[in-house]
A = this chain, B = another copy of it.
């Protein structure tokens, strides 16, 4: 078992039990305490957990869980599947908007293969990965950088969006119930909505596990989207309410890669 696997496992343990004991995991993985100390130090620095005497804890529900560095590690396979499916909506030559979020940054990687393409985003991860990639015209949206979402937001971002127009916007959401999608942050909601307004077509990407949750602000009615992509069939109530409209629901199948 390599270092990264061990660290991922530590995170998984933490998610289940909220806290781990140092001696405990050192024994479980058959490595020295010092090694675990170093794992925990690094994970703490990455903002994933908090070290306490004798072990570490994770404060679910607080800033940690909503921290992008943490989310980044989770459910990479689902993200990949959603991204692959979303990419089918895109043809070379198109202009595409992508919002913040780790889901979105996976999508960026996938779309980069559809070159030539123009990508408009406020997502710092995408800017870093795709800048200078030939065949990809990268338009960064400015704004105030938010470490929490690893993206740029604010008036500058919204103004920039008001001057641009894309063929399709991909928007992701952390929560949805019934026919509404939600987000906890107002500035993020405004940016996502601005992207939707600035695109001919819109597509929502949402992990099926996010259904049944809500958050402070309503992001959008699912019926506003041309396409909704998820990894499992939508809950019955959502599906029913959406049934009559124009919105196309697509279920991503995990690719065997």
Contact = CB atoms under 8 A, between A and B. Distances in A.
A140 B145 contact: yes
Secondary structure call for the A interface: mixed
Interface of A: 122, 124, 127-128, 131-132, 137-145, 147, 150, 152, 154-157, 159-160, 163-164
A138 B142 contact: no
A140 B142 contact: yes
A46 to B, nearest CB: 11
Given A137-B144, A138-B144, 8 more contacts: A124-B127, A132-B147, A132-B150, A139-B156, A140-B140, A140-B145, A141-B156, A156-B163
Contacts of A163: 155-156, 159
B141 A127 contact: no
4 smallest beta-carbon distances between A and B, as pairs: A142-B142, A138-B145, A132-B147, A141-B142
Contacts of A160: 142, 156, 159-160
Contact of A142 (B147, B150, B157): B157
A142 B145 CA distance: 11
A188 to B, nearest CB: 16
Nearest to A47: B132
A165 to B, nearest CB: 12
A156 B131 contact: no
Given A156-B164, A160-B156, A131 B124 contact: yes
A71 to B, nearest CB: 15
